[in-house]
Amino acid sequence: MKPLKVAVLGCGSVGSQVVRLLDEQAGDLTARVGAPLELVGVAVRRLDAPREVKVPEGLLTTDAEELVTRADLVVEVIGGIEPARSLILRALDHGASVVTANKALLAADGPALYAAADLAARDLFYEAAVAGAIPILRPLRESLAGDRVTRVLGIVNGTTNFILDKMDTAGSGFAEALEEAQELGYAEADPTADVEGFDAAAKAAILASLAFHSRVTVDDVHREGISEVTAADVQSAREMGSVVKLLAIAELRGGEAGEAVAVRVHPAMIPRSHPLASVREAFNAVFVESEAAGELMFYGPGAGGSPTASAVLGDLVTVARNQLAGTRGPGESAYAERPVLPMGETVTRYHVAIDVDDRAGVLAAVANAFADQGVSIQTVKQEGRGLDAQLVVVSHSATDAQLAATVDQLRTMDAVREVTSVMRVEGGVE
C-alpha cells in the first residue's frame, strides 16, 4: 500500500514521543492501519533546540505552514491558540485529517474547527486533549452513543490532584504541597493554569460538549481553583469521611424550560467510599453516570509525553484507516442544543464550618439562616471549645445561589465569629 504521509507539529514532550513511537511501532502501525505511516516532517520553532528524540535527518523544519500542505495526516501538539488554530485549519483545507491534543484551543474555539473538518470532510480527533492516555472521549462519543449520560465527574488535572493528595496524606498546607509538586516536576514554575483550574475548565467544556451533544465552551464553565483550599478544609473533610478533590463536573439538569447543562470546576468534598476518592497522586479519572450503563469509571495517567502520545497515536490509526476507506468518524454532535445553566442555578450541597459563640440559641439562629434561604440541613455537628464552639453544617441539595446567600447571611450574624470553611459536597446521594 502507498504510505500515508504524517506531519507532526511540535516536538516537545508529546511530539517527541509521537515521533519515537511512529518509528518504534512502525510495523504494528502498518498492520493496524493497512498502510505504512511515513513521517514527512516535524515542525519546530528552532532547529537546534535540545530534544528528547533523534528526528531523522532532513525532517525538522521551521515552516509548519508548508509542511501541512504535503501531509495526509497532521498531528498538532504545539498547544495554545495560535499558530495551532491556523495550522489546523490550513491542514484541513488541504485535505489532511488532524489529530490534536490541544484542549485550550478546542475549549475556546472548537465549533469553528469542527465546522472546518465537516466542510473538508476530514477527521479532527482529540482524545489526548482530555485526561492524557485515558480513553474517555471515544467512549463518551461512541460507546455511550446509545445511552443517556446524566453526569460526568472528573479528576482531570494531575497537578492539583497531586497537591490535594499531599495535603490529605501528609497534612501539608497548600504552599508546601505546591512546592513539592514543583520540585517533582508535576507543577510548573508558574502554576496558575493548573492551580486556578483553567486547564480543568477547558477539559470540562470538552467533556460537557460530548456528553450532552451541545456546544459548551470554556467561557460557560464556572471555575474555582484550589489555591484557597486550606489544611483546615482538608482536615474537616477527613473528619466527615471525605476527601477534597478538584472536580470537573458536567451535569444534565431538568427544568421548566427544558433540559440544561451545568458545568463547573471547583474543589469539592467527596466521600472516601466514592471511586474517585482513591485516585492518588497525579493520576486522573473520569466517573460517568448514565441511565442505562449506570456508573463507569476510567482511570490512568492524565499527562506526560508518552501517555499523551499513546492517545494521539490511537486517534492517528483511526483517522488513517478512515482516510484509506474514504470515510470519516463522527464529527461534532451538538444537535441537542441544550443551554448552559448559570452557576447560581446549579444544584449542589455545601459543607460550612463556623466558629460561633458557645451560648444558648446559636444553633437555632444558624439553622434559621439556612431556613431563610430555603436550604434544608442534612447534618450538624457541634464541638464546644471553651468560650467558642464550632458548628459544622452539611446542607441538603439546593441551588448554588441559595447556598451562597446562606453563607453571606451567616457572615452577618452576631453569634458567628468566623466562617472557617465553605466547600461544596459532591459524589453522594442528593
Is 203 an annotated catalytic residue?
A: yes
| Alpha-carbon span 305 to 16, nearest angstrom | 8
Provide DSSP, 255-316.
Answer: -TT--EEEEEEEEEEEETTSGGGG--TTEEEEEEEETTTEEEEEEEE---HHHHHHHHHHHH
Q: How many CB atoms lie within 10 A of CB 395?
A: 22
* 118-137 residues near a second copy, rule: CB under 8 A: 127, 133-135
Interaxial angle between packed helices 305-325 and 26-33, expressed in degrees from 0 to 180 and rounded to the nearest 10? 40
Q: Which residue lies nearer to a second copy by CB, 30 or 61?
A: 30
48-77 footprint of a second copy as x/- string (CB under 8 A): ------------------------------
Q: Which residue lies nearer to a second copy by CB, 201 or 312?
A: 312
**How near is the Cβ of 242 to a second copy at its closest, in Å?**
17
Determine the 3-state secondary structure of 223 from DSSP. Answer: strand
Instruction: Please report, for residues 194, 218, 266, the alpha-carbon distance to residue 187 in angstroms, rounded to integers and kept in the order given.
Output: 8, 22, 18
Please list the residues that pair with 351 across neighbouring strands.
394, 423
20-39 footprint of a second copy as x/- string (CB under 8 A): -x---x--xx-xx-------
**How near is the Cβ of 147 to a second copy at its closest, in Å?**
4
Residue 12 touches a second copy, criterion: CB under 8 A: no
Reading the block at residue 255, the C-alpha cell is 427544568
Kindly state the DSSP code that residue 194 receives in the 8-state scheme.
Answer: H
Instruction: Please tell me the count of residues contacting a second copy according to CB under 8 A.
Output: 58
Instruction: Please report, for residues 45, 101, 210, 290, 331, the alpha-carbon distance to residue 125 in angstroms, rounded to integers and kept in the order given.
Output: 24, 9, 12, 24, 9
Residue 253 touches a second copy, criterion: CB under 8 A: no
- For a second copy, the binding residue among 54, 63, 86, 143 (CB under 8 A) is 143
Q: Which of 46, 52, 26, 9 is nearest to 305 (CA)?
A: 52
- For a second copy, the binding residue among 231, 240, 293, 365 (CB under 8 A) is 293
**How near is the Cβ of 328 to a second copy at its closest, in Å?**
8
Please list the residues that pair with 290 across neighbouring strands.
149, 294
* 298-327 residues near a second copy, rule: CB under 8 A: 298-301, 304, 306-307, 309-318, 321-322, 325-327
Determine the 3-state secondary structure of 404 from DSSP. Answer: helix
Q: Which residue lies nearer to a second copy by CB, 153 or 391?
A: 153
Residue 147 touches a second copy, criterion: CB under 8 A: yes
Q: Which residue lies nearer to a second copy by CB, 275 or 428?
A: 275
| Alpha-carbon span 61 to 79, nearest angstrom | 18
Q: Single out the catalytic residue among 5, 203, 245, 381.
A: 203
- For a second copy, the binding residue among 119, 170, 336, 364 (CB under 8 A) is 336
Q: Which residue lies nearer to a second copy by CB, 85 or 213?
A: 213
> What does the CA dihedral 369, 374, 376, 382 come to, rounded to 10 degrees?
-10
Active site members:
203
Summarize as ranges the residues that interact with a second copy (CB under 8 A).
Answer: 17, 21, 25, 28-29, 31-32, 127, 133-135, 138-139, 142-148, 213, 275, 278, 290-301, 304, 306-307, 309-318, 321-322, 325-328, 330, 333, 335-336
